[in-house]
Amino acid sequence: MTVDKLVLCLSVPDGIHEWLEAFHRMAPGLDVRPWPARPDEGGRFYVAAWNPPDGFFSRLGRPRAVFVLGAGIDRFLKRGDLPPADVPLVRLLDAGMARQMADYALAGVLRFQRNLDLYEEQQRQGLWRPQPARSADGLRVTVLGLGRIGSVVASTLAGLGYQVSGWNRGGALIPGVSCRSGMEALDALLAETDVLINVLPSTPATRGLLDRRRLSLLAPGAGLVNCGRGDQMDLDALVSLLDAGHLRGALLDVFPTEPLAADNPWWRHPKLRITPHVAAVTLPEPAARQVADGIACFEAGGTAAGTVDRGRGY
């Protein structure tokens, strides 16, 4: 089904011309109106947005559906101007993000496997001190979150020879990955983990999941990679465990409040490496294709893939 003459109100923080070109290629009949342009009064329209300005939705009226131009929808659910629950909220299922996330996770794993963190510290001290080598199959990697993105992360690492376990709440089946589910299984799994990779979505069930008790369960000398959400990990507890020597180091891409303030001491902690929420960035062309397909599905009376259950948070 085509999407000719349908209106899409678009709000993105940057790269608007790239987005407009992507929609023109993927859905040439769609009338895309970048913010602050608005739909016709009383007309049928859809919304695609990422971090839109305050009051954005209240100035548009009631859309047929809202497409979130990213995998995370927690920021949208916290908005006071979000349309009511009977307006579908749709998240992107991948849009090029899964491979990026797998690359980022691999960078974190290699950091600890190949002792790059130790060599950075030795460089600061002017030390030439080779460390013992460790093979991929001797490293126990755990991936938290086995959805569209997490399953690619886990299977990519397993394909490279790592001992990969995966965990989520509902269970999964991924070739080459030891998949577990349930809170009791999580506690046991953490004790068997050398590198923990978190790609869980932010939901009521995952917020605060990696608290001091669970972080303490990790194997001594474990490393962490957090590219899920910043509200899932107790960063003060993490720093305390790093300072105590129980944990080795962490690569952090997400934080409870973003951007991270310039005077925050986490920037300067010797065992932390920080990136500005760039582990996986939405690519306009595959995102535009998903939005166009979703609009066509709604117009045909169906439900678009990625439609969110607001009560569950994903």
Active-site positions?
A: 229, 277
- Residue 70 corresponds to which tokens in the numbers above? 């990213």
State the alpha helices, DSSP H only, in 71-161: 74-77, 97-113, 116-125, 148-159
Distance CA 71, CA 98 (A): 10
DSSP 3-state assignment of 11?
A: strand
In this structure, the number of other CB atoms found within 10 A of the CB of residue 197 comes to 30
Q: How far apart are CA 286 and CA 19, in angstroms?
A: 11
CA atoms within 13 A on the CB side of 8: 28
Find, among 23, 71, 25, the residue nearest to 50 by Cα.
71
Q: Are 139 and 113 in contact (CB under 8 A)?
A: yes
Neighbours of 202 (CB within 10 A): 22
Distance (Å) of CA 16 to CA 13, 31, 143, 225, 278: 8, 15, 34, 31, 18
